[in-house]
Amino acid sequence: MELKKYKLGELLSKIENGAVIKQNKGAKGIPITRIETLSNGLFNRDKLGYADIEDPTLYSDYILEDNDLLMSHINSKEFVGRTVIYKKQANECIIHGMNLLRIKTNTKLLDPEFAYYYFQTDTIKKSLYNLRKDAIGQSSIAISDIKNMVVAIPSISIQKEIAFVLRCYDRKLDVNSVINQNLEAMAKQLYDYWFVQFDFPDENGRPYKSSGGEMVWNEKLKREIPKGWNVLKLGECCSFNKRTSSGYFNHSILYLDTSNITNNTIDELQFLNPLSDIIPSRARRLVQEGDIVYSTVRPNLKHFGIIMNPDYNMVVSTGFAVITANWSAYRYFIYQFLIQAATIENLSTIAQSAVSAYPSINTSDIENLDLVVPLDSMIEEYAKTACRLYLQIDANYKEMKSLTKQRDELLPLLMNGQVSVNSYRS
């Protein structure tokens, strides 16, 4: 494969900073990108800001278009230079905000999807890293330096073929991600029907509360619950931080930090070898099948999940409360209770009043939560369905890890011509 050298600026039709617009704290106004919108190599719509404007046409030059590239050119040293591609959905209108560069390619010379993957290679990441200028707390890269970078790329036709192969991996990853979201939603929906709305099947198979099932007043909760149900403290149904390491390891570990899991999705497990890597002092908590990890810092950020089939050497941060159900069937019931919006709001309120440098809770705050507990037979019935769902989620997650590894190994080989698209397909 023949590679031709260019200055990057020769391959671009536009590279510019975003609009300087005041942003609302709430989700009101016109969506606008922030540094946080670029996360894990993706354009994350959940981390958009909102511009304090009513008429987006006043900023028409800043409205994102399909296949725009966004680069973080002002960030921490670790993240400066990271780049994502924007794929427009339906009729959405999103403004390009400050502190991110918008890059448009000259599509006759540089395919935008190829460019996105090219920016993910270690070679380009290292080049961008070396262009940075450091200041206190952040680094930056000048537009002029980016435009002067020398790159070597194949013909436009080969670029499109390479991008197609890599995009197939990403589409399969997207499919698995959507499947997992749907499986999570099914587990939550069933929990809500049975244990929040109290419309579990009665002895005749009808929804209990909607069919006139007997409800009794609970003085502690100041509301009605189904007859025969109890109210317990969560700590009566589970234990906390049962297994803790001394912090000294004679083998490699897979370390989960609090920021690396959100809504039961792990984006990274750090492989650390004590012979060559510095093991974080917070790498102390040990987990087992069905344990729940729940970050004690800023509960509203939803850094929690349920651990299925953990590797023997998995270690998690002491920033988690590791919650082990006293009975295995209870783990899914307890997990769903902990991720309810009302529970998160309750714990977030407690965290805001904490006397510490940041909003946080203690394990005792979780232990003292009031839990409405049905008959064991109902929890066991729920567990049968939930277990199947979470095992499938875990299987999909492991497939995604494998696909990501394959894609990342193939990426540099396709880019430098060591593997051709034709040889890959054969």
**Span 90-116, pLDDT tens digits:** 989 999 998 899 999 999 999 999 999
Residue with token string 């619950």: 225
pLDDT category of residue 29 using cuts at 50, 70 and 90: confident
CA distances for 138 relative to 22, 62, 133, 221, angstroms? 21, 25, 9, 48
Structure tokens at 199: 């419309």
Over residues 63-78, the mean pLDDT reads 93
Residue with token string 């005749």: 204
| CA torsion, ordered 308, 312, 317, 318, to nearest 10 deg | 100
pLDDT category of residue 300 using cuts at 50, 70 and 90: very high
Residue 415 C-alpha from the chain's centroid = 28
Over residues 201-215, the mean pLDDT reads 95
Total-model pTM:
0.86
What CATH architecture applies to the domain 230-373?
A: Alpha-Beta Complex (3.90)
Residue 424 is predicted with a pLDDT of 64
pLDDT category of residue 415 using cuts at 50, 70 and 90: very high
The top-level CATH class assigned to 4-153 is alpha beta
Q: In sequence order, which residues have a C-beta less than 8 Å from that of residue 206 and are 6 or more positions away? A: none
Residue 342 is predicted with a pLDDT of 96
Residue 26 is predicted with a pLDDT of 66
Assess whether pLDDT exceeds 70 at residue 157.
yes
**DSSP symbols for 368-379:** T-EEEE--HHHH
Over residues 212-226, the mean pLDDT reads 96
pLDDT category of residue 253 using cuts at 50, 70 and 90: very high
Over residues 134-163, the mean pLDDT reads 94
Over residues 218-238, the mean pLDDT reads 96
| DSSP reduced 3-state for 282 | coil
**Residue 216 β-bridge partners:** 225
Over residues 227-251, the mean pLDDT reads 93
Mean pLDDT over the full length of the chain: 93
Q: In sequence order, which residues have a C-beta less than 8 Å from that of residue 404 and are 6 or more positions away? A: 169, 173
Rounded percentage of the chain residues whose pLDDT exceeds 90: 81
Residue 233 is predicted with a pLDDT of 97
Over residues 190-202, the mean pLDDT reads 97
Over residues 274-297, the mean pLDDT reads 95
Assess whether pLDDT exceeds 70 at residue 425.
no
Q: Where in the chain is the domain with CATH 3.90.220.20?
A: 4-153, 230-373
Residue 426 is predicted with a pLDDT of 58
pLDDT category of residue 363 using cuts at 50, 70 and 90: very high
For 32-65, how does the pLDDT look when each residue is reduced to its tens digit (9 = 90+)? 999 989 987 889 998 899 987 878 888 899 999 9
Assess whether pLDDT exceeds 70 at residue 318.
yes
119 Rama sector, left if φ>0, alpha if ψ -120 to 50, beta otherwise: alpha
Residue 357 is predicted with a pLDDT of 81
Assess whether pLDDT exceeds 80 at residue 334.
yes
